[in-house]
Structure 1
Amino acid sequence: MVRALSKLGLVFSLFGAIALPLQAAAQEPDFRIGSSVISELKYKPGFTHFDYVNPDAPKGGNLNLSTTGTFDTFNPLLSKGETVTGLTLVFETLMKSADDELLASYGLLAEGLSYPDDISSATFRLRKEAKWADGSPVTPEDVVFSFEKSKELNPLLSNYYGHVVKAEKTGERDVTFTFDEKGNKELPNILGQLQVVPKAWWEANGPDGKPRDITKTTLEPVMGSGPYKIGAFSAGSKISYELRDDYWGKDVNVNVGQNNFKTIAYTYFGDRDVEFEGFRAGNVDFWQENQASRWATGYNFPAVKDGRIKREELPNSLRATGIMQAMVPNMRREIFKDERVREALNYAFDFEEMNRTVFFGAYKRVDSFFFGTELASSGLPEGRELEILQGLKDKVPPEIFTTPYSNPVGGDPQKSRDNLRKAIALLKEAGYSIQGNKMVNTKTGKPLSFEVLLSSPTLERVAVPYTQALRKIGIDARVRTVDPSQYTNRVRSFDYDMIWNVWAETMNPGNEQADYWGSASANQQGSRNYAGIADPAVDALIKMIIFAPSREDQIAAIKAMDRVMLARHYVVPLYYRSDIPIAYWDKFDRPAELPTYSTGFPDVWWSKTAK
């Protein structure tokens, strides 16, 4: 699926714990059709489809999409190699999110879920009709296998499911997950997003007569239960997914009006500019723009002028997503362990000048790890947030009680010079001085030198000017852009000085926060704790977020954590915008009203050529 921020395809949707009972009298009364963390579920038992779909959308037509990089595996669980884009079309989860509600999900492979009042476990009941592509039923054994292999083979998922100690079959169609802690409202809903793979298929022999091995990469087309199957492909460069006529779930309420294209194909490009030329030429149907300069000046060509290409700026997907886009210094490196060094790095980034000269004023400076949402901290702490921070007074920076966080402001030569002087002063406090035009550690004599590792040349337009500014104060900062495979491997093993990263936060932060910022993940290869944060205050606040007794307490703990991490200068915040610019060839139709929290593409769109 094409979603702005997914590649686990991997960005997770998290859901909470308010639920409705199943309608069928044959089911136990404590089984629910879905769950929601913030409010009552919008859809009631017996609903036929989501309101934002066209239930009569025609099926057919071809959708040609693009992505950068390469791929060398179809294994959806393994944290090795470059996984192909689009496997969420082939595999399904126990529950499916509703894009017109905040943090709500409904049964997909599972018809319902149940959990005790103390939330010490969760049980999912599979649908009788759920089938794999070969016609065999999806079983509890498949779910248990998928869970166990996810934890075994993927460090990210191992962290995510860290408090789930056991999965077992507890009925003909029931799977029960047992937790090592109570009261975590999020755990049942995290498990609803478990991607389920077929146990029997993976344990059987492949076409070559040899046993398949889920611990290894593979380019054998994998079998799933989803609406599409893998069609033609060329390793590393192109793949096509074909809509299955025999898909078991085509009439399930959460699927009605969706999965409308006959084929969905992805072409891989090594360069984002070349990829855009593919879109201009009509070889790619849909484009999500990530360059403000191109959005402002790069669409002056015939297909746009005569209306064959449409352009829009849609806020939908970001209405429920907090963003932190940042340069991330790796604190496993000695040079970045000192907070003053990290703060100095921020003073060298002149966002205002870059926004004026490069971005055409399209962006805002990120000033929160939950930028753009009600979860972002601001001003000075008060109320419940202040109480929480006072309880951690000996573990948090004292300035958070007296000084609101703010990024340095540049935009003209005088401000830029003043900011660089502040950076030099901070570095001096940290034990550095300028000697012969180089910033040198006064004790060791070593120059302050590091590399900014990038995955795409597109990012160089920001990273290069940033390193040039750093060199003005004697820091030997360099940019190195590598191919996607090398980048992935280096990031997984924390083999970098500084990287560029985007974290996307849902409106219900929970277990994933430990993977992002927790001490336990700091040295666990494959985690998303890219900065190497190991902070007792942050650890305590993560616990408070996960086990918050109320939404008020949760938001207060989130803001407190946000404030602590900003004050510690763990990253150099960059920028973002509040809408998503998209362009597409006029080959599609869509519902008049898109879902509140998603562009709905391509899920609820359809081809004009379909009958």
Structure 2
Amino acid sequence: MPRLSAWCLMLWFVLCVPALAAPVHGLAMHGAPKYPVGFTHFDYVNPSAPKGGTLRLAEIGGWDSLNPFIVKGEVPGGADLPFETLMVESADEPFSEYGLLAESVEVPPDRSWVIFTLRPEARWHDGKPVTADDVVFSFNTLKAKGHPRYRFYYAAVDKVEKLGALKVRFSFKPGDNRELPLILGQLPVLPAHWWKGRDFAATTLEPLLGSGPYKAGAFEPGRTITWERVRTYWGATLPVRRGLYNFDRIRYDSYRDTTVALEAFKAGDYDWRLENEAKKWATGYQDWAALKDGHGRKEIFPNQRPAGMQAYAFNLRRPLFQDRRVREALGLAFDFEWTNKTLFYGQYRRSTSFFANSEMAATGLPGPKELEVLEPLRDKLPAELFTTPFQLPVTEGDGNIRANLRAAMRLLEAAGWRVENGKLVDKDGKPFVFEILLVQPVWERIALPFARNLERLGIEARVRVVDTAQYKNRTDHYDFDMVVQVWPQSQSPGNEQFSFWGSAAADAVGGQNLAGIKNPAVDALVAAIIAAPDRETLVARCRALDRVLLWNHYVIPQWHLGVDRVAWWDKFGRPEAVPAAGIQPMAWWAREAAAK
């Protein structure tokens, strides 16, 4: 009996003690993190990079606030530089995080809670320590008054508790959400003492107090801002910071549009430019004298970053776009092959997935692991999803899309539309008219040919360009018919998918479900992705969601690239390694600093 009792006690210990998780230096979404305990720096940085010099960058449009945590106002480039999170993600893994403000993290096997222990040396810029009170304040404030995305990210958190001066515990609601500890690792931590007496929900031009490597220096609202390196930055020698944030000053200048910005770059008004326009990359640098005399550089850097989805997004809140056949018909009028050949010099690939450029993109017919989550939803899904591989329309690129337009007209007629006096009208004679809302003039040359194709169907698509402030206000409140939208994706999709596609996010002001999707099958698949127990299952469930989004024709997919196109004035040093996430400008350094 004594032996049996001892054995039972040992069994209880074995079964129960794992719930008392041991502190670790990092977390991976699946498996173990790449970097071990005691690592000194990330592989894609130069740990001996010199500090000094200035990096001058550009942004498009103006700004009127320094608060990046709320839906109101426009913030300048670099507005996140003064702030730090509990943990930080590496750029060369699918999804792993390592301690930044947090010295260690504790998570049980079922990931039903997480405990963060803060570094005792962490300091705000005013010299006061970062404490558990700050973490609790940040979570509660962001959820109550911050941008709507925080409410979605933290919706499954049951409570937050201060366990000590430097220790905080987050407990989660019932359910299988293995990503939550990493989501909480991304929590921006704000100083509770500084915010007393201040309105968190208001825009402000008062520089916010942070704990990060930079703080705001001189600025002119809407024109320019300089971020100054904090010389006494407490975290400069941490493994997750070594070799990063090397410039003494990072300056952002605002420009009206990308054409003006390119000319300013070639004139030497700023130093480093990530090029997002194919035409400018192909022809815009031909007269840049610095490229010819060796003072300028222009290079393509391949990446393994999921491209996500860039598309013409329908506003499903509009009755005009609520019929799937109508949305598919409009997609048939977009001639990607002609656009790519004529406007983009053949540089792009058509995006045929919401997870383009990744293993999560759906191909062919659903596999067995996909069917596990799709079969229970069969009655809520398009029947073709199970029988036909999804394909976007293809043309010869010569501008002749008559076959596609005929197919589009058949769909429109089946949906109750007819042509009358050259105009497409509904059963009540109301014409098919909508607006394509744009924020950059450069998009007119792309949208206008699309509008001309729609005109051949009897559809009037009005192309309108507005300034950044008006565009943000209208999209925040879903006051549009169609816009160009980008939904970025990580190598490990999770809770952000609720913000992108979830029914609960469709009506949140400033939300990311710009299309207004309210589909219980999509909600169920997003929940399945979040609950994925391993990488293989995650990939299969992302592919299943991909199919559902594609077959519902919520957007008209555009294109992606799979590389970073960068031009810069040749006065910088950079690491040789480029991680999977792509080029890392904050790992570069000024050669003038190296010379000193």
When normalised by structure 1's length, the TM-score is 0.92
State which of 301, 305, 318 in structure 2 corresponds to 1:314.
301
- Establish whether residue 543 from structure 1 lines up as the match of residue 527 from structure 2: yes
How many Å separate the matches in 2 of 1:151 and 1:270? 34
Q: What amino acid is the match of 1:258?
A: L
The answer (yes or no) to whether the contact 2:27–2:33 under 8 Å persists in 1 is yes
Matched, 1:458 2:442: yes
* Aligned-pair CA distance for 1:119: 1.9
Shift of 1:336: 0.2
Q: In the alignment, which of 210, 225, 233 is matched to residue 247 of structure 1? A: 233
Deviation at 1:412, TM superposition (A): 4.6
Secondary structure at the counterpart of residue 391 of structure 1: helix
Corresponding residue number in structure 1 for 2:193: 200
The residue type equivalent to 2:522 in the other structure is V
Q: Secondary structure at the match of 2:225?
A: strand
Q: Contact conserved, 2:515 with 2:554, CA < 8 A, in 1?
A: yes
Do 1:434 and 1:440's aligned partners in 2 also have CA atoms closer than 8 Å?
Answer: yes
Matched, 1:231 2:217: yes
499, 506, 517: which one pairs with 2:490? 506
Matched residue type, 2:254: Y
Shift of 1:164: 1.3
Is structure 2 residue 420 aligned with structure 1 residue 427? no
Distance of aligned partners of 1:413 and 1:76 in 2 relative to their CA distance in 1, 3 Å threshold: closer
> Does the Cα contact within 8 Å between 1:544 and 1:557 map onto a contact in 2?
yes
Deviation at 1:484, TM superposition (A): 0.7
CA-to-aligned-CA distance 1:182-224 (integer Å, 9 cap, x gap): 4311000011111111111111xxxxxxx42112110011111
Offset of residue 115 of structure 1? 1.9
Match of 1:608 in 2: 591
The percent identity for this pair of structures is: 48
C-alpha separation in 1, matches of 2:378 and 2:519: 13
Alpha-carbon distance in structure 2 between the residues aligned to 1:29 and 1:425: 61
Maintained 8 Å contact 2:21/2:107: no
**What SS class does the counterpart of residue 123 from structure 1 fall into?**
strand
Please state if 1:375 is matched with 2:360.
Answer: yes
The 2-side partners of 1:394 and 1:38 are apart by 32
CA distance in structure 1 between the aligned counterparts of 2:531 and 2:31, rounded to whole angstroms: 18
Candidates 392, 399, 422, aligned match of 1:437:
422
1:583 and 2:567 aligned: yes
Identify the match of residue 261 of structure 1 among 243, 247, 251. 247
Displacement of 1:84 after TM fit? 2.2
Which protein has the bigger helix share? 2
2:329 aligned with 1:344: yes
Secondary structure at the counterpart of residue 380 of structure 2: coil
What do the CA deviations read for 1:463-492 (whole angstroms, capped 9, x no partner)?
Answer: 111111111111010111111111111111
Check if 1:305 corresponds to 2:292: yes
Q: Hey, what's the Cα distance between the residues in 2 that align with 1:608 and 1:331?
A: 51
Q: Contact between 1:350 and 1:411, CA under 8 Å: does it hold in 2? A: no
Q: Is the Cα–Cα contact under 8 Å of residues 22 and 106 in structure 2 kept in the other structure?
A: yes
Q: Who is 2:10 aligned against?
A: none
Distance in 1 (alpha carbons) for counterparts of 2:285 and 2:505: 43
Q: Which runs of 5+ in 2 are unaligned?
A: 1-19
**Equivalent position of 1:176 in the other structure:** 169
What residue identity is the alignment partner of 2:384? E
Pair 1:518-2:518 in alignment? no
Provide the rounded CA distance (Å) in 2 between the counterparts of 1:252 and 1:517.
Answer: 37
1:118 and 1:182 in contact (8 A); partners too: no
Question: Any unmatched runs of 5+ in structure 1?
Answer: 1-27, 204-210
CA distance in 2, matches of 1:195, 1:390: 39
Is structure 2 residue 163 aligned with structure 1 residue 159?
A: no
Contact persistence 1:239–1:267 (CA under 8 A): yes
Q: Find 2:52's aligned residue among 60, 71, 79.
A: 60
Moved more, 69-78 or 406-415: 406-415
Other-structure match for 1:17: none
- 1:565 maps to which residue? 549
- The answer to whether residue 517 in structure 2 is matched with residue 533 in structure 1 is yes
| Partners of 1:409 and 1:415 within 8 A in 2 | no
Q: Write the distance in 2 (CA, Å) between the matches of 1:487 and 1:121.
A: 40
> 2:272 maps to what in 1?
286
The residue identity in structure 2 corresponding to 1:269 is Y
CA contact (8 A) 1:329 1:498 kept: yes
Determine if contact 2:307/2:560 at 8 Å carries over to the other structure.
no
Do the aligned partners of 2:118 and 2:131 also contact (CA within 8 Å) in 1? Answer: yes
CA distance in 2: counterparts of 1:434 and 1:584, whole angstroms: 53
Q: Is the 8 A contact 1:77 1:149 kept in 2?
A: no
Alpha-carbon displacement from aligned partner over 1:439-483 (angstroms, at most 9, x marks no partner):
100x22111110011111121121111111111111010111111
Tell me if structure 2 keeps the 8 A contact 1:333–1:497.
yes
Inter-partner Cα distance in structure 1 for 2:351 and 2:218 = 42
TM, length-normalised to structure 2? 0.94
Say if 2:207 is the partner of 1:221: yes
Instruction: Determine helix, strand or coil for the equivalent of 1:220.
Output: coil
Report the CA distance between 1:415 and its aligned residue. Answer: 4.9
CA-atom RMSD in angstroms: 1.4
Contact in 1 for aligned 2:503/2:523 (Cα 8 Å): yes
Asked whether the 8 Å contact 1:289–1:581 carries over to 2, the reply is yes
- Residue equivalent to 1:296: 282
Are 1:117 and 2:117 matched, yes or no?
Answer: no
Q: Within 2, Cα distance between the matches of 1:168 and 1:87?
A: 29
Letter in 2 for 1:521: A
Letter in 1 for 2:249: T
Structure 2 distance, partners of 1:310, 1:363, is 22
User: Which 10-residue stretch deviates more, 397-406 or 28-37?
Assistant: 28-37
1:11 — aligned with what? none
- Output aligned runs, 1:353-372, within 5 Å: 353-372=338-357
Deviation, structure 1 residue 52: 2.1
Distance 1:412 1:595, change over 3 A: closer
Per-residue CA deviation, residues 344-383 of structure 1 (Å, 9 max, x unaligned), is: 1110000001111111110011100001100000111122
Q: How many residues align?
A: 573
Could you say which residue in structure 2 is the equivalent of 1:273?
Answer: 259
CA contact (8 A) 1:518 1:539 kept: yes
AA aligned opposite 2:410: A
